[in-house]
Amino acid sequence: MNKSIFNPVFLSLSLVSCLFLLGCSKPKENTWQGYLEGDFVYISSPLAGRLDKLAVVKGQYVNKSDLLFSLESENEQAAQNQASAELAMAKAKLADAKKGLRPSELASIEARLGLTKASAELAHLDLIRQEQLYKEKVISQSEYDRARLNYEANTRSVEQAGSDLKTASLGSRSDLIQAALAQVQASEASKKRADWSLEQKVKKSPAAALVYDTLYREGEFVGSGMPIIMLLPPENLKIRFFVTEESFGKLKAGDKLKVSLSTTSEQLSATLSYFSPQSEYTPPVLFNRDNRAKLVFMCEALFNQAPAGTLHPGQPVDISLSQ
C-alpha cells in the first residue's frame, strides 16, 4: 500500500476542500438575505430664520410633543401683536356701531324732545285762545292763521325729535354695521395668519422617535423648508430583501415572515408589504455565488412589533417564511 495517502499535507488539503464545498452549498429554500431600511421623517419649518435653540442631540429618543428646535421669531411676534391690536379695534368699532349713540347724546335728544313737546303744548293753548277771539271777531284772520301754523310747526318738531331719538337708539345703519363686521372678520384672518407664522418657528416631535441626525447648529441661518432634524420612529423601520424569480412567484402580500438577526437568537415577526414591479441585478449586499449572476426582485416587509432602540438601518438580517 502506498503510504503517501496518509501524508499530513494531503489530509489537510482534503479537509480544506471539504469545507470549501460545504461553504458553497446552496442556502436553505425560502430563506433570503436582507437588511433594515428606515423611512426618515425630516422636520423643518416653512419659514426661514436663525436657529436659536436646538433642544435635542443626535441619538436621543424623544416622546411625542417634545420640543425639537425653535427659530428666531421677533418679526412674527411683532406681527402677532399688531394683528391682535387691529382685531381689538375692529371689534370695538362694531360694538359701537351696534349700540348707537352714547348715553349723554341720547339724553340730549330726549331733552330736545321734551322742549319741543312743551312748545307744542304752549302753541296748542295759544291756538285755543286765538280761535275763541277770532270767533268773537276780536282778532283778524291773519293773527288766527299765525297761531294755527305755529301749533302745527311745533307738532312737527315733536314728531321729528321722537324719530331722532328712535334712530339714535337703533345704532348705525345696517350697511355700516356690515362693513364693521367685515373688518372684524378680516382682522381675525390676519390674527390667525400671524399666530400660524409664530407657531411655525417652534417645532415639536410628531411622534415618539429616535433623533437620527441633526443637520444645523445653533446660530446658523436656516432657509425655508430646509430639514433641521431627521427622526426615525420605530414603526418606520422596514426590511428590504431580494428574491429570485422562482421565489418571487410564490410570495404574496400579507405573508408572515420570520426575521433573524446575528446579534440575538430571538426571531422577530414581520408581514410582507411590497413587491418591486421590476427586476434588477443582484445588489452587492448578497454575496452567495448562485445568485450573483441572476436577476432578482426587491421585496419589503414591515415588523409586526419591532422593539424600539434595538434595530438600526443597514443592519443585516435573514428572512424566511413562517411555517
In the chain, residues under CATH classification 1.10.287.470 are: 80-196
Q: Which of 269-272's residues contact partners 24+ apart within 8 Å by CB, and which partners?
A: 269/303, 269/304, 269/305, 269/322, 270/239, 270/301, 270/302, 270/303, 270/304, 270/319, 271/301, 271/302, 271/304, 272/299, 272/300, 272/301
pLDDT of residue 189: 95
pLDDT of residue 137: 80
The third-level CATH classification (topology) of the domain covering 41-72+203-232 is: OB fold (Dihydrolipoamide Acetyltransferase, E2P) (2.40.50)
Say yes or no to pLDDT of 19 above 60: no
The residue among 10 and 128 whose pLDDT is bigger is: 128
pLDDT digit string, tens, across residues 116-151 = 888 888 888 888 888 888 788 878 888 888 888 888
- DSSP result, 109-135: HHHHHHHHHHHHHHHHHHHHHHHHHHH
Q: Right CATH number for 28-39+233-321 from 1.20.1250.20, 3.40.50.300, 2.40.30.170, 3.30.70.20? A: 2.40.30.170
* Model pTM score: 0.64
Average confidence (pLDDT) over 25-36: 72
Average confidence (pLDDT) over 39-64: 95
Q: Name the average pLDDT for the chain.
A: 82
pLDDT digit string, tens, across residues 202-247 = 999 999 999 999 999 999 999 999 999 999 998 899 999 988 888 8
| Range name among 33-37, 123-127, 163-167, 184-188 with the lowest pLDDT average | 163-167
In the chain, residues under CATH classification 2.40.50.100 are: 41-72+203-232
Say yes or no to pLDDT of 287 above 60: no
In the chain, residues under CATH classification 2.40.30.170 are: 28-39+233-321
pLDDT of residue 170: 63
Percent of the chain with pLDDT over 90: 38
Other CB atoms within a 10 A radius of the CB of residue 138 amount to 10
Say yes or no to pLDDT of 18 above 70: no
Percent of the chain with pLDDT over 70: 82
Per CATH, is 80-196 categorized as 1.10.287.470?
yes
3-class SS at 250?
coil
pLDDT of residue 171: 58
